[in-house]
A and B are shown apart, each in its own frame.
Chain A
Amino acid sequence: MFRNVFSKSMFFIFLTVLVASLAGCRATTRDYSPDDVVHYDEGYDFSDKNAIVDYLVSSLVSKPPLVSRYDRPVMIVYGVANRTSEHIETSGITDDIRMKILQSGKARFVNKVQRDNIAEETAYQYGGNVSPETRLQRARQIGAEYMLSGTLRSIKKKQPKQVRLKKKTLQYYSLTLELTDLQSGLIEWTDNAEIVRESSKPFIGW
């Protein structure tokens, strides 16, 4: 009965489809270098972050005021405001910028994020358990001379509705960073990094 209903050719077609469908189910992993450029879609990703950080740090350390300063001025990071339409953790950008500037030896940073913990540790040391000789001294912290801040913006443009099989999206990102002299309130340096990317997505899939 089996032979009568399913001819040999039908059986082979069935077998081919089965093998083809199972072939795509194998889980795979692949390592990338953080320096590789990898984009899955038009959205912001780690490759964009690396490109933006490299460009802006290079600009900051090679232009005034930092290029002419050899006393490693103290800076404080006031974060990058996210004004895009995506949930982006901008602290990753500022952490990398701070790390690269520190590694360049052109500036030092006040640890704003750890201020509460520093205050807590100071209070502990003055709580009676720490010997006066090893206790840290109060009012010895360094005040920042410059403030680093910025804004990440994006503009997204979708292809207008028409008969087609793919949908194209154009995405623009711009990160503007600025260095403000805290004493004078003047912006001493500013630059921006831009990324424009087009991607297309099919309307129909399996």
Chain B
Amino acid sequence: MTRSSGTNRQHRIFVRWICFLLMGAGLALCGCTSSNLTLARNAFYSGDVVMASQALDEPEKVGSRDRLLYFMEKGTILHYGGDYEGSAAIFLQAAALITEQEVISATRQAASMVTTEWLTKYKGEYVERLFVHTFQMMNYLLLGKHESALVEAKQALEVYDTYPEACDGDYFTRALIAHCFEALDEINGAYIEYKKLAELMGNPAPVADKLCQLANRLGFYDEVEHFSQFLPDKNEEKRERPIGERLIFLSRGRAPVKIPHDIILPESIRFSFSTYENRGGYFPGPEIPPLPGIGTRTRVTTDVGKVLRASLDQRLARIIAKETARVVAKEAIANNINDSGVESLVRIAFFLMEVPDTRCWETLPGTLTLIREPVFPGDNEQAADGPDNPDRFYRYFSIRN
């Protein structure tokens, strides 16, 4: 009798220790973003790209659960730092990791059902997966590697096809895809993408000139007639053939970040979720003066915040289902503990661990704009000079404020 009661007491002490350990481990994982990621983001937004890049010099500095974020943030930092080759290499690893993480880890998912979502590997919002290819296209175009840019364009199209509701609001990427086809003279592919873009935007004006040019080359004369009514100045005097085209990738502001929200129900049920919220601040952005005598500058803009919200909304049903299942599982575990002391301890641990996953790609800009303008012989030739090979028809620039 004495021995039995001693054993029970030892058992309770042991179970409490296990609870403490689990609680410690769970809490350590909750809401923790790697300090190196935070350091890199802060350095990037204070304008110190070198320090930002140094903070992420090795993948091991960021936990394996946040490895995709590491690649996304580092790739962006290198891109805006002008290291397009380095950025392309990093984003290639991001794309490979996205494919690898398509397989659902049964152990991590099971563990996250009774702990927290932070235990799972970050897979990226659907549109974030698209933006990996967007940056890759920009990198390869800036490097003059049009064939590689087209490879990325085709991979981006796969993402559009898989998650149309989440990604269709990203006009900038669609315009880049169309350009990648056009730059390699794949005019049928280019025409299809420009036409899809015109339909999605609801206003073909920004791409009407491209649609008219390509439809003319393909022999779709009824389409030429249709789209010519959207040209900015139909009466403009016909000029000689342009000697090139200037393309500016203009990134302005900061994309919204995920903010945690809670709903608390008695007795200790915590229902948590996250939403994208703006970070505020005014970003006037660099004004890009048009080349002298050019009246046909066109712009296609993506509101990054809008597409991120649409992307998160697409996962909403799945998030709510998992959150509900987790709350039910935690409640069932707590209710089945006979020791009131241990039960309280477990309830506190579960409550504190219920932290929404607020991980997101934080160095994304608020808007992405593609500016195009034709370059004609004469004074404009100098203004069109860029980092690209001067023999090429297209000159590319990437600018961020």
A-side interface residues toward B, CB under 8 Å? 1, 4-5, 81-87, 156, 167, 201-206
- Check A206–B106 contact: CB distance below 8 A: yes
Of the A-B pairs whose beta carbons lie under 8 Å apart in the complex, a sample of 8, sorted by A's number, is A4-B7, A81-B147, A84-B154, A86-B151, A87-B92, A156-B158, A201-B103, A203-B103
Residue in B7, B10, B155, B186 whose beta carbon sits within 8 Å of that of A85 in the complex = B155
- Check A85–B158 contact: CB distance below 8 A: yes
- Check A204–B151 contact: CB distance below 8 A: no
In the A-B complex, list the 9 residue pairs whose CB atoms are closest, starting with the nearest.
A85-B154, A205-B103, A204-B104, A1-B10, A204-B106, A4-B7, A87-B151, A82-B147, A85-B155
1/0 per residue B139-161: CB within 8 Å of A? 00000000110110011001000
Confirm or deny: B14 has a beta carbon within 8 angstroms of a beta carbon on chain A.
yes
1/0 per residue B181-199: CB within 8 Å of A? 0001010000000000000
B-side interface residues toward A, CB under 8 Å? 7, 10-11, 14, 92, 102-107, 147-148, 150-151, 154-155, 158, 184, 186
Bound-state CA distance A204–B186 (Å) is 38
Q: Which residue of B lies closest to A84 (CB)?
A: B151
Contacts A82-B151, A87-B148 given; indicate if A205 touches B10 (C-beta within 8 A).
Answer: no
- Check B107–A206 contact: CB distance below 8 A: yes
Residues of B within 8 A of A201 (CB): 102-103
Bound-state CA distance A83–B149 (Å) is 11
Q: How near does chain A come to B123, taking the closest CB pair, in angstroms?
A: 13
Q: Which of A5, A87, A201 has the most CB of B within 10 A?
A: A87
Residues of B within 8 A of A202 (CB): 103
Bound-state CA distance A39–B7 (Å) is 58
Bound-state CA distance A57–B14 (Å) is 73
Residue in B11, B102, B151 whose beta carbon sits within 8 Å of that of A4 in the complex = B11
Residues of B within 8 A of A156 (CB): 158
Residue in A4, A167, A206 whose beta carbon sits within 8 Å of that of B10 in the complex = A4
Supplied contacts A85-B151, A87-B151, 18 more A-B pairs, CB within 8 Å: A1-B10, A4-B10, A4-B11, A5-B10, A81-B184, A82-B147, A82-B151, A84-B151, A85-B154, A87-B148, A156-B158, A201-B102, A201-B103, A203-B103, A204-B103, A205-B103, A205-B106, A206-B105
Residues of A within 8 A of B151 (CB): 82, 84-87
Bound-state CA distance A156–B147 (Å) is 18
Q: Which residue of A lies closest to B18 (CB)?
A: A5
Residues of B within 8 A of A204 (CB): 103-104, 106
Residues of A within 8 A of B186 (CB): 83
Q: Which of A1, A82, A85 has the most CB of B within 10 A?
A: A85
Residues of A within 8 A of B14 (CB): 1, 5
Residues of A within 8 A of B158 (CB): 85, 156
Bound-state CA distance A84–B106 (Å) is 33
Residues of A within 8 A of B11 (CB): 4-5
Bound-state CA distance A93–B148 (Å) is 17
Residues of A within 8 A of B148 (CB): 87
Residues of A within 8 A of B155 (CB): 85
Q: Which residue of B lies closest to A6 (CB)?
A: B14
Q: Which residue of B lies closest to A5 (CB)?
A: B14
Residues of B within 8 A of A206 (CB): 105-107
Q: Which of B10, B107, B151, B184 has the most CB of A within 10 A?
A: B151
Q: How near does chain B come to A205, taking the closest CB pair, in angstroms?
A: 4
Contacts A4-B7, A5-B14 given; indicate if A83 touches B150 (C-beta within 8 A).
Answer: yes
Residues of B within 8 A of A85 (CB): 151, 154-155, 158
Bound-state CA distance A81–B155 (Å) is 17
